[in-house]
């Protein structure tokens, strides 16, 4: 069976030097027919270097927005420019191993056009990162994760990265938006990413709407992470807002709305307190 061409989609905003490592890693894979890079207002020196790279590499196509429009909207812009019906979304600070996109493609069930498949994402030390494979997101799981109940062993974690590594692709509740693949026709059928999310949770939202979600253990991507020059406190604030948006969107029945309203202040406080502690700890380490 001949593999269809794959369009890689990457969105970048002040990613830092690792951006070019990620670009080279994607283009090193012969399965990738094109890399569409959506440039959300990178510094002038980075833009100049990207221009030089685009002139030298026929498979690299730059799309400039001149403004940080958010991850989901950036992905939608990139997907609209794709020439193939297979989309490989990859973070600008992530380096896929050769063949990772093909393995993700092979894991998609042919009978489900809106299915998606996520990679096994490793940190710089080679450990599987949180988010590669996840259980379905619930209010209780979110609160337990951010309040410390999971660390105390009092609740089941949202992430499944500490479980046994499966030998073959398995169906899960959600995967990470840092590296996943799906058909463009299916992506369009779902309406793409919900652009009401600016940062975080848009990947979980997409998984919630997909026909099925697959974790592919032999599709390996190495993720540096946290390279943008932005306050962790600001990032966690966006995460808190996005999580509350997610639960309000999907908990539409009266009981769900009441539960969301009850949990909302506790969840928001838990997330922001953790962010504040991490921010203070970071300042003390400087």
Encode the chain (286 residues) as per-residue pLDDT tens digits.
577 899 999 999 999 889 999 999 999 999 999 999 999 989 999 999 999 999 999 999 999 998 999 999 999 999 999 999 999 999 999 999 999 999 999 999 999 999 999 999 999 999 999 889 999 999 888 888 888 788 888 788 899 999 999 999 999 999 999 999 999 999 999 999 999 999 899 999 999 999 999 999 999 999 986 555 666 777 888 888 999 999 999 999 999 899 999 888 888 888 888 777 777 776 676 6
Helix (H, G, I), strand (E, B) or coil at 271: helix
pLDDT given for residue 234 in this prediction: 77
Structure tokens at 243: 């999580």
| Residue 143 domain-assigned (yes or no) | no
Would you give the DSSP letter of residue 137? P
Q: Is 73 exposed, middle or buried (0-12, 13-18, 19+ CB in 10 A)?
A: buried
Cα separation, 278 vs 284, in Å, equals 10
Mark whether 170 and 196 lie in a shared domain: yes
Cα separation, 256 vs 212, in Å, equals 23
Would you give the DSSP letter of residue 85? S
Cα separation, 184 vs 44, in Å, equals 32
Mark whether 130 and 259 lie in a shared domain: no
Cα separation, 96 vs 34, in Å, equals 15
- Spatial contact of 75 and 9, defined as CB atoms under 8 Å apart: yes
Q: What range defines the domain where residue 113 resides?
A: 6-137+158-223
- Closest listed residue to residue 213, CA positions, set 185, 182, 243: 182
Cα separation, 232 vs 239, in Å, equals 10
Q: What element of type H or E holds 283?
A: helix 254-285
Mark whether 63 and 198 lie in a shared domain: yes
Q: Which residue has the tokens 């094109």?
A: 34
pLDDT given for residue 232 in this prediction: 72
| Residue 149 domain-assigned (yes or no) | no
Q: Looking at the 3D structure of the chain, how many domains does it have?
A: 2
Helix (H, G, I), strand (E, B) or coil at 182: strand
| Residue 151 domain-assigned (yes or no) | no
Mark whether 126 and 51 lie in a shared domain: yes
What's the pTM value of the predicted model, to 2 decimals? 0.92
Mark whether 103 and 209 lie in a shared domain: yes
- Spatial contact of 95 and 169, defined as CB atoms under 8 Å apart: no
Cα separation, 17 vs 12, in Å, equals 11
Q: Alpha helices of the chain — where are they, by DSSP H?
A: 18-27, 44-56, 71-81, 100-107, 139-147, 184-189, 202-209, 232-250, 254-285
pLDDT given for residue 32 in this prediction: 97
């Amino acid at each position: 069976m001949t593999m269809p061409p794959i369009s890689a989609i990457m969105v970048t905003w002040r990613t830092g030097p690792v951006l070019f490592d990620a670009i080279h890693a994607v283009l090193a894979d012969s399965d990738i027919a094109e890399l569409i890079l959506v440039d959300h207002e990178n510094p002038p020196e980075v833009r100049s270097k990207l221009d030089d790279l685009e002139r030298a590499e026929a498979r690299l196509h730059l799309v400039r927005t001149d403004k940080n429009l958010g991850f989901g909207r950036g992905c939608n812009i990139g997907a609209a420019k794709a020439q193939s019906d297979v989309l490989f979304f990859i973070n600008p600070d992530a380096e896929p191993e050769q063949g990772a996109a093909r393995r993700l493609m092979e894991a998609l069930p042919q009978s489900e056009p809106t299915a998606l498949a996520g990679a096994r994402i490793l940190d710089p030390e080679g450990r599987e990162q949180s988010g590669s494979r996840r259980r379905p997101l619930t209010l209780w799981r979110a609160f337990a994760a951010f309040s410390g109940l999971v660390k105390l062993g009092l609740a089941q974690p949202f992430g499944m990265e500490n479980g046994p590594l499966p030998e073959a692709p398995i169906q899960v509740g959600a995967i990470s938006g840092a590296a996943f693949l799906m058909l463009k026709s299916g992506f369009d059928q779902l309406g793409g990413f919900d652009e009401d999310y600016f940062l975080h949770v848009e990947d979980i939202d997409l998984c919630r709407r997909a026909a099925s979600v697959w974790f592919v253990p032999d599709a390996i991507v190495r993720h540096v992470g946290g390279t943008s020059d932005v306050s962790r406190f600001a990032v966690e604030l966006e995460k808190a807002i996005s999580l509350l948006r997610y639960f309000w969107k999907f908990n539409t029945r009266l009981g769900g709305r009441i539960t969301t309203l009850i949990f909302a202040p506790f969840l928001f406080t838990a997330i922001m307190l953790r962010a504040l502690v991490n921010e203070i700890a970071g300042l003390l380490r400087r």
